[in-house]
Amino acid sequence: MAFKKSAFAAMDAAVSLEGTVSSTWKERRNFGRVVVVVVVVVVVVVVVVVVVVVVVVVVVVVVVVVVVVVVVVVVVVVVVVVVVDASVVVVVVVLVLVLDVDVDVDVELVLEVEDDVAAAVVAEVTVTTGVVVAAGAAVEAAVPPVPAPLVQSASAVTVASSLRRTFALNTWAACIRG
């Protein structure tokens, strides 16, 4: 019986040892899973923080660039309008061509400016042309017509007329050049 008791005791000890080993292995396995989960969570949090920081930095850089461009445009417009005393057309040309800025311009304002510029050009051309026409008429009146006996054919008339026109045009050009 003693043998039986010792055999049962050995079996109980083996079962107890097996349970201890088994539970230790399960605990280690669970601990390993916990470590993996913690590492994954930490990595995800770090990645999210880095992405948020990068996005914030990009947004700040974009805002700074936009502010700098707006300041440069305003300074250029002020310098062009105040210092150079230029018209709106020059400002728009500077903005669009030099700074490559998309400008929404009021069509009525542009038409008013174009009308003013066109009126000034027409007035100047009218004054200049009036002076030139008057000078040309005086020169043409001063150039004697070709006498009739010298005009023998239509080609002679054309040549004489052409000579008078050329002389008058040259005189007009001299008047324009001043």
| Per-residue pLDDT, 42 | 92
With a cut of 60, say whether residue 36 has pLDDT above it: yes
Q: Mean pLDDT over residues 56-73, rounded? A: 86
Q: For the chain, what is the domain count?
A: 2
Domain, as residue range, for 7: 1-105
Please, what is the average pLDDT of the chain? 62
Q: Are residues 112 and 77 located together in one domain of the fold?
A: no
Mark whether 30 and 96 lie in a shared domain. yes
Say yes or no: 111 and 100 in one domain: no
Q: What are phi and psi of 87, to 5 degrees?
A: -90, 175
Give Cα 145 distance to the centre of its chain: 63
Task: Looking at the structure, tell me whether residues 24 and 99 fall in a common domain.
Answer: yes
- Alpha-carbon span 105 to 74, nearest angstrom: 16
Domain boundary among 48, 81, 105: 105
Contact of 168 with 139, CB cutoff 8 Å: yes
In this predicted model, what pLDDT tens digit does every residue of 14-31 receive, in sequence order?
Answer: 555 555 555 565 666 677
Tokens of 117: 């510029």
Question: Is the same domain home to 151 and 116?
Answer: yes
Both 93 and 110 in one domain: the answer is: no
Radius of gyration of the chain (CA): 50
Which residues, 6 or more positions from 80, have their beta carbon under 8 angstroms from its beta carbon? Answer: 86, 90, 91, 94
- Contact residues for 105 (Cβ-Cβ < 8 A; gap 6+): 92
Pair (86, 143) in one structural domain: no
Q: Between residues 153 and 72, which one has the greater pLDDT?
A: 72
Please list, in sequence order, all residues whose beta carbon lies within 8 angstroms of the beta carbon of residue 110, skipping any fewer than 6 positions away: 88, 89, 92
Q: How many CB atoms lie within 10 A of CB 172?
A: 19
From CA 91, how far away is CA 78, in angstroms rounded? 9
**Reported confidence tier of residue 69, pLDDT bands at 50, 70, 90:** confident
- Choosing from 105, 140, 160, the residue where a domain stops is 105
The verdict on 117 and 33 lying in the same domain is no
The mean pLDDT of 67-82, rounded to a whole number, is 74
Verify that 33 and 66 share a domain, yes or no: yes
Write out pLDDT tens, residues 126-145. Answer: 444 444 455 555 555 555 55
Between residues 96 and 37, which one has the greater pLDDT?
Answer: 37
The answer on 52 and 37 residing in a single domain is: yes
Same domain, 101 and 22: yes
End position of a domain, from candidates 47, 72, 105: 105
Residue entry with tokens 């300074």: 75
Q: Tokens 């590492």 belong to which residue?
A: 39
